[in-house]
């Protein structure tokens, strides 16, 4: 995977600055009611992250074995805007993401092959967002289109969003509607494949069945400015999935010694409900709290609580320690290695769906000097975040993320 190095970004910044300096300046006019109708660049965001994990409950091998995985992700966002003749602001956001991962457990789909499907893969996911807003009222609406592709999986997405503000702009209502139409290859563990069935790995020309999985979700949120120091937000995000929801290359072992590929219902309802409170005691720090309750039709129930306290050290330097705790009651379809009954209709040994608790803690460092980061005027912000994750199943992971904003 190609990496986006910092010196390339700085070179681009220099070119952007040179272009801005040579652009002809408009004549002095009364701009009280004037809105620029030419398309202009609002900001550019470049986000890169490195993630690694390790554990001993791989679902590919029935709930035992290595979970070692690494992922390098890069996302590029370009936001542009222009005003139309009616004074409405049109915002265009183009996003391009590229992830590359390697997974030791996925190579166990076919232990005799060094190129099993999903041993390593690259995911590419572009998207385009358009929003039209009225800056006087704050009301807005927009549409989204997206695409995602991996070697054994592809997805098409579409969405709609709507924002409405009260007259005093202290209350905001947001509505989102999204759909994802997915198709992925049905890849079985090597010992469970019918004769002549393809492996799904690169270089194998034998055919592999594909199956759809469609997801539909909505989001309703209401935010309220209670006073100058306190803001609250309530969100409800129901969703529905239908199609192949089991990962067929994940093994399950039974009490009689038999083995089958994972099998789960072909539909799933989800209902997360969240509450966010932000408190501003003074100009130097913020207290951000978040709580979410989650339930679904597979029997999973979960509570998540999060606390983040950004502290402003200077006018352009801040740090943000954070902590998140999650407690989950697992699905009724889960059992550990070799514990499934042969009479069960649905079964999984994926510990992501089991009873568990987890802790995620870390900190962020944000730089936004008035003359630009490293003295580069258009490099408006640099943020570095690190997080360490542990859970009761002994899974451990680390993630470090770099975000650069260009304005």
Whether the predicted pLDDT of 106 surpasses 80: no
Q: Which long-range contacts (CB under 8 A, 24 or more apart) does 205-208 make?
A: none
13 φ, ψ to 5°? Answer: -60, -40
Tell me the C-alpha distance between 50 and 58, whole Å.
21
Asked if 181 and 147 count as a contact pair (C-beta separation under 8 A), the reply is no
Residues 77-104: pLDDT tens digits?
A: 999 999 998 889 999 999 999 999 888 7
| Nearest C-alpha neighbor of 217 from the set 264, 261, 270, 174 | 270
Contacts of 145 (CB under 8 A, 6+ apart): 127, 128, 157, 158, 159
Q: Mean pLDDT check: name the lowest of 168-177, 190-199, 366-375.
A: 190-199
Across 188-210, b (16+ Cβ under 10 Å) vs e yields: bbbeebeeebbbbbeeeeeebee
CA–chain centroid gap for 242, Å, is 21
Instruction: Report the range out of 108-117, 167-176, 371-380 with the highest average pLDDT.
Output: 167-176
Per-residue model confidence (pLDDT) at position 14: 39
Tell me the C-alpha distance between 364 and 362, whole Å.
7
Whether the predicted pLDDT of 2 surpasses 60: no
Asked if 390 and 396 count as a contact pair (C-beta separation under 8 A), the reply is yes
Residue 116's pLDDT band (boundaries 50, 70, 90)? very low
Percentage of residues in the chain having pLDDT higher than 70: 85
Residues 49-63: pLDDT tens digits?
A: 999 999 999 999 999
Per-residue model confidence (pLDDT) at position 34: 54
Q: Mean pLDDT check: name the lowest of 28-32, 133-137, 324-328, 358-362.
A: 28-32
Enter the tokens of residue 17. Answer: 């600055």
- What structural domains does the chain harbor? 42-406 (2.40.160.40)
Residues 208-266: pLDDT tens digits?
A: 678 899 999 999 999 999 999 999 999 999 999 999 999 999 999 999 999 999 999 99
Enter the tokens of residue 177. Answer: 């509607």
- Count the helices and strands in the chain (H runs, E runs): 1, 20
Tell me the C-alpha distance between 95 and 80, whole Å.
12
- Beta-strand (E) ranges in 113-236? 120-133, 140-150, 153-165, 171-185, 210-227, 230-236
Per-residue model confidence (pLDDT) at position 279: 97
- Decide: residue 251, CB within 10 A, 0-12 exposed, 13-18 middle, 19+ buried: buried
DSSP one-letter code for 88? P
């Amino acid at each position: 995977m190609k990496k986006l190095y910092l010196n390339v970004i700085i070179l681009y910044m220099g070119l952007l600055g040179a272009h801005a300096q040579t652009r002809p300046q408009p004549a002095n006019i009364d701009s009280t009611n004037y809105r620029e109708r030419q398309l202009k660049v609002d900001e550019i965001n470049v986000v890169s992250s490195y993630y690694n994990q390790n554990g001993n409950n791989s679902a590919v091998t029935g709930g035992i074995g290595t979970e070692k995985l690494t992922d390098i992700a890069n996302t590029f966002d370009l936001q542009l805007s222009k005003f139309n003749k009616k004074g409405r602001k049109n915002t265009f956001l183009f996003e391009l993401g590229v992830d590359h991962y390697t997974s030791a457990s996925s190579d166990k789909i076919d232990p005799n092959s060094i190129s099993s499907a999903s041993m390593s893969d690259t995911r590419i996911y572009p998207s385009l967002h358009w929003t039209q807003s009225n800056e006087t009222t704050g009301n807005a609406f927009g549409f989204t289109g997206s695409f995602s592709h991996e070697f054994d999986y592809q997805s098409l997405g579409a969405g709609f969003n709507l924002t409405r503000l009260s007259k005093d702009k202290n209350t905001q209502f947001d509505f989102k509607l999204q759909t994802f139409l997915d198709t992925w290859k049905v890849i079985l563990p090597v010992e469970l494949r019918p004769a002549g069935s393809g492996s799904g790995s690169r270089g194998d020309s034998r055919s592999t069945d594909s199956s759809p999985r469609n997801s539909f979700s909505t989001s309703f949120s209401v935010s309220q400015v209670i006073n100058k120091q306190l803001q609250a937000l309530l969100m409800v995000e129901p969703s529905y999935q239908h199609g192949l929801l089991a990962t067929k290359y994940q093994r399950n072992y039974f009490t009689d010694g038999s083995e089958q590929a994972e099998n789960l219902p072909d539909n799933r309802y989800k209902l997360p409900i969240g509450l966010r409170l932000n408190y501003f005691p003074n100009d130097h720090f913020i207290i951000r709290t978040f709580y979410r309750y989650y339930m679904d039709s597979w029997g999973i129930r979960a509570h998540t609580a999060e606390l983040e306290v950004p502290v402003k050290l200077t006018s352009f330097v801040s740090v943000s320690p954070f902590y998140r705790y999650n407690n989950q009651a697992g699905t009724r379809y889960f059992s550990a290695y070799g514990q499934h009954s042969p009479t069960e209709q649905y079964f999984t040994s994926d510990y992501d769906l089991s009873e568990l608790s987890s802790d995620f803690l870390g900190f962020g460092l944000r730089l936004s000097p008035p003359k630009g980061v490293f003295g580069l005027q258009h490099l408006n912000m640099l943020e570095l975040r690190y997080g360490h994750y542990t859970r009761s199943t002994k899974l451990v992971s680390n993630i470090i993320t770099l975000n650069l904003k260009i304005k």
